[in-house]
Structure 1
Amino acid sequence: MLKENNRLNKSIDKPVFAISGGLLILFVILAMIDLNMIESWINSSFAFSAKYFGSYWEVLLLANFLIGLFLAFTKYGKVRLGKMDKPENGYYRWVAMILCTLLASGGVFWAASEPLSHFLTSPPLFPDNSSTLAGVEPALAQSFLHWGFLAWAILGTLATIVLMYLHYHKGYPMKPRAFLYPVFGDKIFKKGSIIGSAADIVSIVAVAAGTMGPIGFLGLQLGYGLHWLFDIPNTLVTNIIIVSGLIVIAAISVATGVDRGIQFLSRMNVGLTVFLAVCILVLGPTMFILNKFISAEAFHIQNMLTMALYQGDQAWLGWWTVFFWGWFLGYGPMMAIFIARISRGRTIRDLIIAVSIVAPLVTNFWFTVVGGTGLKIELDKPGSISEPFLEGGMPAAVMSIMDQLPLGMFLAIGFLLVTLVFVSTTVDSISYTVAVSLTGDDKPQKWIRVFWVVIFGLMSIMLLAIGENSISAIQNSIVVTAVPVSIIMLPTLWGAVKMARILAVEQNIITPEKKVK
């Protein structure tokens, strides 16, 4: 079975390639013809998704996290994945590549702006302590929820276990349709499977929307930053040059492969991020950052269940929590593929701890370093951060925070560089996973990987040329595509447990009589 399945892994799934690529091209064409129509359709679909699927997403993410913890801290945590006796990647290299997935999306601009947003207007679950010292912990804790344990867990824990078992242990193609294996069995991999093809198409379209949006935003945000620092005109030409540079970096990275280009960029960027964090800790409000990280994390853990299942202000939920859950669900299948590829030889315990605990804590600390510094400055000098933020958005928040610190110009340049490399690592890893999804092979041909980098870049440039609203439209569309993706990922809740038990028997961790038939 293993050899037979591997022979099927090399060819491109042409129907999935044509339909997913066609849908993306159609979106851009329609946006060029009538952007208002596209925005209206996405906004109404967004509202429908948030209203009818928001509660389901909340339960799905929480269940995914808790089941992962159960597997990690029971005997199943000893199960080794990927048919390797030792890890393929060293721990630092491995964690660095993991960190450059979700953190790349929120590493700079959301880290500055989201805590500030919740500080200026307290989340509805908590008492109104807007713009006061008492509002710092709730503001940071709400940001921790959105970028912390639950968000990370959905990107690469249970889904990764399912993929690694089916691909490395059973020889099936590494495709998003694998998540449906617990329901449909072998049939989901049969050639011509409509449900299987639909699962792959939806997953590719979802992650493409979630990738082209950040690429476009990067052009806008770096353009703003360059104008702020060097008075370079913030024009379409500037933004296109920035995106083009990003695509060149990502193309070189993905062409050299996961084990070289992607891991090199990831390690470099994590190193730069650590350096920036240390600089801000030294130059900024050191004790405020350290104290508030501890108190806000405690506040977060204490209120995590309530925040995760909050069902009060539906408009606020749609704008914040449900939006983020939809965004991360849209990324989920492809990030699971990427993490599966780099995690061979790791145990289930290694995987869950790294993805569901270590990465979230690092992210939360980074949000405290950047966002907490902004909150302290705003407390001391009301309006110094909030006014630029309300006028110029997320890029203005970062630049105004750096402007208030010693050596602020150099720190701001560092942030722009980190952002460029962060998004490059996202683009190269997503392009790699799309190529994997189309071939089912964890080492797809170089030209397929580079092709998707170029496609993402060209389509992002076209969206920029149409206007900023087109970038927001495609960014919001990932929440719409998250509806079917969230259904595809549901079977991993029990599928991962069943597969962990099977592997535990094979690896003599539990006795055969406990094997699930």
Structure 2
Amino acid sequence: MKGSNRKKTSLDLPTFIISGGALVLFVIAAFINADFVADMVDTLFGWSATYFGVIYQMTVLITFFIALGLAFSKYGKIRLGNMEKPEMSTFKWICIIMCTLLAGGGIFWAAAEPLSHFISVPPRFSGIENGTLEAVVPALASSFVDWGFLSWAILGTLGTIVLMYAHYHKGMPLKPRSLLYPIFGEKIMKKSVLGTLVDSFSILAVAAGTIGPIGFLGLQTGYGLNALTGLPNTLVIQIIIIIVIVIGAAISAVTGIHRGIQLLTSFNVLLALGLIIGILLLGQGFFIFNNYFEAFGLYVNDFISSSTFRGDEEWLSLWTVFFFAWFIGYGPIMALFTARISRGRTIRELIIAVAVIAPIITTFWFTVVGGTGIFYELNDSGSISTALNEAGPPAAMIAITEQLPFPMIFGALFLLATVIFVLTTADSMALSISMAITGEGNPPSWLRAFYALVMGLVAIVLVTIGEGSVDALQSFIVVTAVPVVFLLITTFWTAPKAAKDLYNNHKKETL
């Protein structure tokens, strides 16, 4: 059955009630006793990081290698989505992929993570002294592990192939449960308890992973505006910022992929490119290029050992395992979104764009932002790290811009880029959750707006309760990744199976 012959799917009430109800219960519990919720999440976080950390690491590693194998096999030329050519230009396509998948990491962690590893060298490099010239390359390479090839591969390669096969080629709904179609067939679609749970956990994980950055954006933009303009950093200001963001996200989600989302992501990529050029020309371009190539070489050379490092579980739970779990939690819904924007692309194009090009761009961006912070910290100890230690990632970003020429301009532009990175994730996830609820590539506008506003409302409630509640929700995605990882493991078999089936069908049609 072809995708064009599908019957429309109505609102999936069980999934809607379970996923939405779990979020509401989380907020109510946090409102009643925030400390209890934080303690419970910390306990579950520690348990999942300890017992599933190695599974998370192996899952992203195997996904990457299977994806590369498919890309460069005879299946790589297979065109996905029942389209003879892509429905959008390559530039716009990659812009949407970059901005949506990079999310809050685009600024928050690009500034903070390399610097954190510089002032406290990761245990894998325990022989190197903190804060020294020798610590620069290991610090950058360690951040590449968390935001490089493996993290991107889990977000939009094997899962995307399976969903495009099931939806566009076999007529199944555009839902996370369709990842299981090659195993269970149409049985997984009809009043399936397993299907409902798969959809619900996938939505819950990505909602938790999106609400956290929205809440942090309110806190951190409030800090940034205070540092740049002297505007009081109050709860009211933080709430106003979140309201503006979610209204923008709702409008963008309603206008759809080909208007609001595409416009915002293209603008943000051009803005980020402008910031890169500005920093390279006015900042420390020579230092950045030198250390990027050396750090990237170290990352590639130690690729397997760094990705499978298990020497310090406590450190891993704060960094590599935390980020891998976060991306795994995003995996099914992000694969669904990537499937929606990638019609007409070949398997090879998809995998190279998501698992090769995007990570290379990301690692260079991390070097431009975080490497600049490291340079100033190296030459004036405390110039960046003091702000990072006292006020967190947003302070690192502002502290870096204060060291550059034209600090007000750079600070304002970085703040704008931060807002748009989170906004594009919020609007894309509102659209994707709506697709998961209805099974349609173009869900009703009211549902898209509803999810954007609900995520914003939850963020406001958590910010009002206290920053610890936002932290708890952020950590909760590591817990929700536990059931999701088993769903993604099935793609080790189903993605090659789908590719083989498409290849055989194509051969029959051309005979």
Q: Is the CA contact (8 Å cut-off) linking 1:78 and 1:509 kept in structure 2?
A: no
What corresponds to 2:399 in structure 1? 400
Residue 243 of structure 1 corresponds to which residue in structure 2?
242
Q: Is the 8 A contact 2:128 2:134 kept in 1?
A: no
Tell me what 1:163 maps to.
Answer: 163
Q: CA offset at residue 2 of structure 1?
A: 4.5
**Is the contact made by 1:75 and 1:509 (CA closer than 8 Å) also made in structure 2?**
no
The one-character-per-residue Cα deviations of 1:260-300 (angstroms, maximum 9, x if unpaired) are 11111110111111111111111111111111111110010
Quick check: 1:2–1:172 contact (8 Å CA) kept in 2? no
- List aligned pairs for 1:85-124, cutoff 5 A: 85-124=84-123
SS in 1 for 2:86: coil
Gaps of 5+ in 1: 513-517
Equivalences for 1:480-495 in 2 at 5 Å? 480-495=479-494
Secondary structure at the counterpart of residue 253 of structure 1? helix
Quick one: which amino acid aligns to residue 348 of structure 2?
R
The 3-state SS of whatever aligns with 1:367 is helix
**Residue type at the aligned position of 1:35:** A
Aligned to 1:179: 179
Alignment match, 1:12: 11
1:164 maps to a residue whose letter is M
Q: What residue identity is the alignment partner of 1:72?
A: A
- Do the aligned residues in 2 keep the contact of 1:189 with 1:196 (CA within 8 Å)? yes
Q: How far does the alpha carbon of each residue in 1:388-446 deviate from its partner, in whole angstroms, 9 at most, with x for none?
A: 11111111111111101101110000011011111110000000000000011111111
Do the aligned residues in 2 keep the contact of 1:84 with 1:345 (CA within 8 Å)?
Answer: yes
Kindly report which structure 2 residues correspond to 1:299-318, keeping only aligned pairs within 5 A, or say none.
299-318=298-317
C-alpha distance in 2 between matches for 1:466 and 1:506 = 56
Question: Aligned residue for 2:344?
Answer: 345
Distance 1:433 1:161 in 2: 16
Q: For residues 130-186 of structure 1, what are the alpha-carbon distances to aligned partners after superposition, in whole Å with 9 as ceiling and x for unaligned?
A: 111111111001101101100001000000000000000000001111122233232
Counterpart for residue 37 of structure 2: 38
1:427 aligns to what? 426
SS in 1 for 2:6: helix
- The answer to whether the Cα contact below 8 Å between 1:223 and 1:234 also exists between their aligned partners in 2 is yes
Q: Could you tell me which residue of structure 2 aligns to residue 151 of structure 1?
A: 151
Shift of 1:461: 0.6
Opposite residue 454 of structure 2, the aligned amino acid is I
Distance, in Å, in 2 between the alignment partners of 1:336 and 1:419 is 23
Encode CA deviations 1:340-394: one digit per residue, 9 max, x unaligned: 0000000000000000011001100000000000111111111111111111111
Residue equivalent to 1:66: 65
What letter corresponds to residue 312 of structure 1 in structure 2? G
* Aligned equivalents of 1:129, 1:185: Cα separation in 2: 56
Contact 2:427 2:452 in 1 (8 A): yes
Provide the rounded CA distance (Å) in 2 between the counterparts of 1:442 and 1:10. Answer: 10
Inter-partner Cα distance in structure 1 for 2:332 and 2:129: 38
CA-based RMSD = 1.4
3-state SS of paired residue (2:286): helix
Stretch deviating more after TM superposition (127-136 or 46-55): 127-136
Aligned in 2, Cα 1:3/1:164: closer, same or farther, shift over 3 Å? Answer: closer
Following the alignment from structure 1 to structure 2, what is the Cα–Cα distance between the partners of residues 207 and 165? 22
What does residue 438 of structure 1 align with? 437
Asked whether the 8 Å contact 2:3–2:169 carries over to 1, the reply is no
Deviation readout 1:318-359 (Å, 9 max, x if unpaired): 111111011111111111111100000000000000000110
Normalised by the size of structure 2, how large is the TM-score? 0.98
| TM alignment of 1:369-408, pairs within 5 A | 369-408=368-407
8 Å contact kept, 1:157–1:336: yes
Tell me by how many angstroms 1:187 deviates: 1.4
Aligned to 2:288: 289
Stretches of structure 2 lacking an aligned partner (at least 5 in a row)? none
Matched residue of 1:125: which SS? helix
* Structure 2 CA distance for partners of 1:291 and 1:510, relative to 1, 3 Å: farther
Kept in 1: contact 2:3–2:168 (CA 8 A)? no
Residue of structure 2 equivalent to 1:365: 364
Please report how far the alpha carbon of residue 6 of structure 1 lies from its aligned counterpart in structure 2 after TM superposition: 1.9
Given residue 90 of structure 1, which amino acid in structure 2 is its aligned partner? Answer: S
C-alpha distance in structure 1 between counterparts of 2:248 and 2:420, whole Å: 8
Residue of structure 2 equivalent to 1:215: 214
CA distance in 1, matches of 2:338, 2:356: 15
Give the CA deviation at 1:511.
10
Q: Is the CA contact (8 Å cut-off) linking 1:5 and 1:172 kept in structure 2? A: no
State the number of aligned residues.
510
Q: Please report how far the alpha carbon of residue 240 of structure 1 lies from its aligned counterpart in structure 2 after TM superposition.
A: 0.5
Structure 1 CA distance, aligned partners of 2:409 and 2:341? 34
Distance in 1 of aligned mates of 2:404 and 2:162: 47
Partner of 2:504 in structure 1? 505
Q: CA deviation at 1:509?
A: 9.4
Q: Residues 490 and 5 (structure 1 numbering): CA distance in 2 closer, same or farther, change over 3 Å?
A: farther
Which amino acid is the alignment partner of residue 186 of structure 2?
D
SS of corresponding position for 1:172: coil
- Asked if the contact 1:76–1:509 (Cα under 8 Å) also holds between the matched residues in 2, the reply is no
Match in the other structure for 1:265:
264
1:48-67 aligned at under 5 Å gives the runs 48-67=47-66
* Separation of aligned partners in 1, 2:447 and 2:308: 41
Q: CA deviation at 1:304?
A: 1.3
Against the structure 1 CA distance between its residues 3 and 319, is the aligned structure 2 distance closer, same or farther, given a 3 Å change threshold?
closer
Inter-CA distance 276–3: structure 2 relative to 1 (3 Å threshold): closer
Which residue of the partner structure matches residue 515 of structure 1?
A: none
Question: TM-score when scaled to structure 1?
Answer: 0.97
Secondary structure of 2:302's aligned partner: helix
Taking structure 1 as reference, are residues 115 and 510 closer, same or farther at Cα in structure 2, changes over 3 Å only?
A: farther
CA distance in 2, matches of 1:356, 1:80: 18
- Quote the residue 2:138 is aligned against: 138
Distance 1:270 1:509 in 2: 41
